[in-house]
Each structure stands twice: as C-alpha cells, then as structure tokens.
Amino acid sequence: MTDETTHDSHIAGDSNGLDGPTENTASPRRRRGPVYVIGGGFLAAALIVGSFVAGSAYRAGHPLNGGNAVAAAETTTGADSCDVTLNVVASVNQWGSLAEELGGNCVKVTSLINSTSADPHDYEATPQDLAELSKAQIVVLNGAGYDGWAEKAQLDPSKQKIVNVGDLMGVTAAEEHSHEHEDSAEGGEGHHHHHHGSTNPHLWFSPDAVLKASQAITKAYSDSAPDGGDTEATVQRHSNTWNGDYAQFVALVNKGRTAGVERHYAATESVANYLLDYIGAVDKTPATYTNAMNSEAEPSASDLKNAIGVVEGKDVDILVVNPQEMGEFAKKLESAAKSHNKTIISVTEQLPENKKTLLEWLTSITNQALATDTTNGYFLTQDVKDRTLADYEGEWQSVYPYLKDGTLDSVMEAKAKKGGMTAEEYKKYYDTGYRTDVEKIVIKGDRMSFTRGDKTATATYKYDGFRILDYEKGNRGVRYLFTATGDVPEGAPKIVQFSDHGIAPGESAHFHIFMGDDSQEETLKEMDNWPTYYPASLTKDEVATEMLAH
C-alpha cells in the first residue's frame, strides 16, 4: 500500500488506475508491536440499471429537450437548462446534498443544519428557519423524531411538496425519544447524549432509505416543474446519472459479498448501523452497552468493562466512533481499539465538509468497512506488517526526467480522460510530486546509494517501523521508515520513507520515496513531493506503459 491518495478524486493517480500519489492531511499512528445485499439492495440495483438505461427520454411522447436541438445538446453534454428554479429547504445537509445533486442548477437548496459542528438533537429552530420552511416549494425532512423542530413548522401539504424520509420508510419517533445534557464524572462536563429508544432515526445511512428518498425528491421536482420543460428534462437527467451511481454503490457491496467479506464491529453508538447491517457487517457491541447508550442511563462500570473486552478481543475487526459524540465512555473504547491495533472508522452524523454527495460519503464508509482495496487505501490496521529493505532491493530510476521530456504525456492524457483536470494541469501537478535530482537509487542489503549526475553517496540504514496515515477522505496509507546509521556522507539522506502498494512483505514493483535530514516525524509531514522510481531495467517507454497499466 502507498500513502498515495487524493485531495480530491479527480487528482489521484490511484483513483483512475494510474500511478501517482497525493495525500490528504493525515495523522500518523504508530504500530505497537451466493450474492445478496440486506434490504434488497441487489434487486434495487438490477431494477435501476434496467430503468435508467431505458430512461425517461420522452415524457408523453415529448422529447426531453422540448423540441429544442440546442437544449438537447446541452443536456447530453451535462449543461443544466432550466425554465424554472425550484426553491428547496432541507432540515439537514445529509438530505440537502442529495436534493442538490438530483436537481443541479435547477434547484436552490438550503440546508438548515449544514455543519458537523451543529448538534441536530438539541437544535432550536430560529424564526428564519421556520420562515424558510414555510416558503419552500419543496421540503425534505428526515423525520423519525430526528428533526422534530422542522416537522413542527407551519408546512402546507396542499401548497408544498413534502418529502419525509421517516414516513417513506415507516419509521416513526419512539415515545421514549429524548435528548438531555448531563454533567457527570464519566460523561464529562457539557457532554450531551441523544436517546432514541427503539428507533434509529439516522436514515441517511440506510441505502434503502436513500433510494426511496431520491425517487420521492425526483418526483417532487417533476411534479413542480412545467410539464415537458427544460427543468424537468434536467431533473430526469440528473436522476438517471444518480441511479447509475447508486447501482455502482450496490455493486461495491455485492462484490464484498461475493468475496465472502465479513466484518465484525463494535460501535460507541449506533449511528451508522443501517449501513453496516446493509453491507453484512456483524454488530458485536454488547447489548447492555448499546441499550444504555440509547436510553437515559449511562453504561455501568461492568457494561463498559465488557464493551472494552469485546473491542480488545479477536471477535472485533473495527470500532466505529462518532467524533461529534466523544464522551469519556467512547474515548475509553477508542483507546482500547488503538492499543490493540484495531481499525477505527470515524463517522459523523452530518455530511462532512470534504464530502460533496451522500453517495460519496456512504461509499467511503463502505470501502473503509470492507477494507479490501489496499491499492486505494482501504485495509485493516491489523493487516499491516513489518517489511525490510529486501522488498526494495535492486536498481531504480527516477521517472521525473520522463515527465520533463514528454515520455509521460500519454499518461497525463489518460488521467485527464478520467479525472477532473486537463493533461497540462496533471503534468504541472506531477512536476511537483515527481521532482528530484536523484536520478538513480541502488539498494542492496542494508545499504542505499543515491546518484546525482556523476556523484554517488552511500549509507547504511536500519528499519524504524511503519506509520499508518489517516486521510480526511477516509482512506489511509502506510510509510515504511528507515534511518541512516553511522557516518552519513553528504548526498545520502538521514531519513528515508517508502510508500508503495503493499502493506505486508513482498517485492516492490515501483515505489515513492520521502527523504529528509531532520527526523521521521518531520519527514512524515511531507505530502507534496514523492519522487517515484521504477526498475532501471525498463526503457522509458516501458515505464510509461507500466504507469498506464497501473
């Protein structure tokens, strides 16, 4: 595995099948020591594929472009043509992002809670919030008691289209639903707890609920827009695209099922359980702990001890935490997971700032839970193993000269076809990433030689462990650390860190290297420059071919 990943999906080499790392802001963690989907997801995907491919290209015999050839061309190329713009208000940004994605430029969406810093459980609607809700043409609510403040607004079903996801799913607020603030020795001053009793209102984590919500929102848009007009056509196109994305999400889940992936998890609270159940993960959180967290009682000392024992034991792969609700109990479970080298997945309630769409978010969490795509940074912490310099032994050449002389232009063009930048923009980006004056590296035994022009410096290196870097995007990377020993000649770095597509012993096909002269911790901060090396036996055209195939 390499700690190469993306600031945005359009930048990554890994995300489009080509080589080249980029890294998100990361925090290092030192190592101590038959196909089906729950909830009918597979069937839903099959139905979607059949329906959106056929599509609703015509409504009542009327072409999507309303008879306008120019509009048709714009629709085909992705431009949003709108004869009206619909005013939409969502209680929370989880559903607001979906509403925006389905409507494109033909909707103006306001999410009343739009940040992970806000607590929807204790939110008090302002007069402006209530006015926004009452004036909206289309209102999107979570329901199920989660956003009761919005459900109490003066809404008019005879004049407004109201999408209530709880109603769509038949999930209503439990009578025992409550919110309270507690100052306790265990809970911590100011720590707030939200209690849902037997109801789990976090419906945006249910792929079935998301699918039903998308259908209801699309219908609300179509019913509100002029029949056969540009807005309706744009909405239909966005809906078709979204259905394709949803089918890909379900395919990801089914792929995990086909491979027989079964994850066991514990959770500090049951926020993302709908999604984890959907992908087939098994909840090992002790019922007494979960019941306590979902009721007005704090877990007892024995409940907490039992939960910690489960997290530390062999039956749990993953601990799921909600960083918005990290009281003392949650912190103790997180500490137990870290000390026992367990994978930790952080799941907020609101859509994170670095996620643009609800499906992107659900896909990220699913990839983290399945942990089967090491190339793109999805793996279990406990699967990462120590490696030696033997994995990198050989003669290696820098790819930077090939970027400069145009050999890699075909690679940049391939990236541009799949990513979000032009070939020239990619070339500029990789000029920073690949830049180095070390033309050749030779590794043999515990010695490394670095050649610049006609000068070569050689030093001996010892293994210093590895670091797992956690990225904001949700994926992760591993760097294998080596430190020079004895007298280090000028031209040989004191610190060397390798990153490639492996997380366990195995011969490297290429690598990215980070070099420094201060400390391992300082070198770990380097995120922009990752000189990349391929075997010296390859011609420059073969290097380009390898990158295209990577």
For residue 455, the surrounding DSSP H or E stretch is strand 455-471
Closest among 472, 523, 499 to 323, alpha carbons compared = 472
Confidence check: pLDDT of 8 > 60: no
Confidence check: pLDDT of 41 > 60: no
Q: Across the strands, what pairs with 416?
A: none
Torsion of CA 55, 59, 61, 63, to 10 degrees: -70
**CATH number for region 261-372:** 3.40.50.1980
Which carries the bigger pLDDT value, residue 178 or residue 340? 340
Query: What is the token pair recorded at 265?
Result: 């998890």
Percent of the chain past pLDDT 70, that is, above it, reads 79
pLDDT tens digits for 454-477? 999 999 999 999 999 988 888 999
pLDDT tens digits for 467-524? 999 888 889 999 999 999 999 999 999 999 999 989 999 999 999 999 999 999 999 9
CA distance 194 to 177: 8
Contacts by 13-17 with C-beta closer than 8 Å and gap 24+?
Answer: 13/415, 13/550, 14/375, 14/376, 14/377, 15/376, 15/419, 16/414, 16/415, 16/418, 16/419, 17/418, 17/550
Residue 290 DSSP SS3: helix
Amino acid identity of residue 499, one-letter, is S
Please, are residues 487 and 508 in contact by the beta-carbon 8 Å criterion?
no
Other CB atoms within 10 A of residue 364 CB: 19
pLDDT at 174: 59
pLDDT tens digits for 248-284? 999 999 999 888 888 999 998 888 999 999 999 999 9
Please, are residues 400 and 434 in contact by the beta-carbon 8 Å criterion?
yes
Residues in contact with 30: Cβ distance below 8 Å, sequence separation at least 6, in sequence order: 465, 467
pLDDT at 118: 67
Q: 474 — alpha (psi -120 to 50), left (phi > 0) or beta?
A: left
Q: Which residue has 């019941």 as its token pair?
A: 291
CA distance 538 to 257: 39
Percent of the chain past pLDDT 90, that is, above it, reads 62
Residue spans of the domains in the chain: they are 86-171+200-254, 261-372, 389-547
Which carries the bigger pLDDT value, residue 451 or residue 42? 451
Q: Which fold has domain 86-171+200-254?
A: Rossmann fold (3.40.50)
Please, are residues 407 and 528 in contact by the beta-carbon 8 Å criterion?
no
Confidence check: pLDDT of 350 > 90: no
Rounded mean pLDDT, 306-315: 91
Please, are residues 94 and 272 in contact by the beta-carbon 8 Å criterion?
no
Strand ranges (E), 226-371: 264-267, 282-283, 318-321, 343-346
pLDDT at 94: 93
pLDDT at 21: 53
Please, are residues 202 and 271 in contact by the beta-carbon 8 Å criterion?
yes
Which carries the bigger pLDDT value, residue 322 or residue 188? 322
Closest among 286, 331, 288, 340 to 313, alpha carbons compared = 340
Please, are residues 216 and 163 in contact by the beta-carbon 8 Å criterion?
yes
Please, are residues 461 and 446 in contact by the beta-carbon 8 Å criterion?
yes
Most confident residue range from 152-161, 164-173, 238-247, 368-377:
238-247
Q: What pLDDT band is residue 119 in, cutting at 50, 70 and 90?
A: low
pLDDT tens digits for 143-164? 988 888 887 788 999 999 999 9
Supply the mean pLDDT for the chain. 82
pLDDT at 296: 60
CATH for the 389-547 domain, from 3.40.640.10, 3.30.70.580, 3.40.1280.10, 2.40.128.20: 2.40.128.20
CA distance 263 to 132: 43
Confidence check: pLDDT of 111 > 90: yes
pLDDT at 186: 37
Q: What pLDDT band is residue 172 in, cutting at 50, 70 and 90?
A: confident
Query: What is the token pair recorded at 186?
Result: 């265990």
pLDDT at 335: 94
For residue 87, the surrounding DSSP H or E stretch is strand 86-92
Strand ranges (E), 361-454: 394-398, 440-444, 447-452
pLDDT tens digits for 203-226? 999 999 999 999 999 999 999 999
Are 86-171+200-254 and 389-547 equal in CATH topology? no
pLDDT at 109: 96
Q: Which residue has 């309270």 as its token pair?
A: 180
Q: What pLDDT band is residue 359 in, cutting at 50, 70 and 90?
A: very high
Distances (CA, A) of 447 to 17, 197, 376, 496, 499: 32, 62, 30, 12, 18
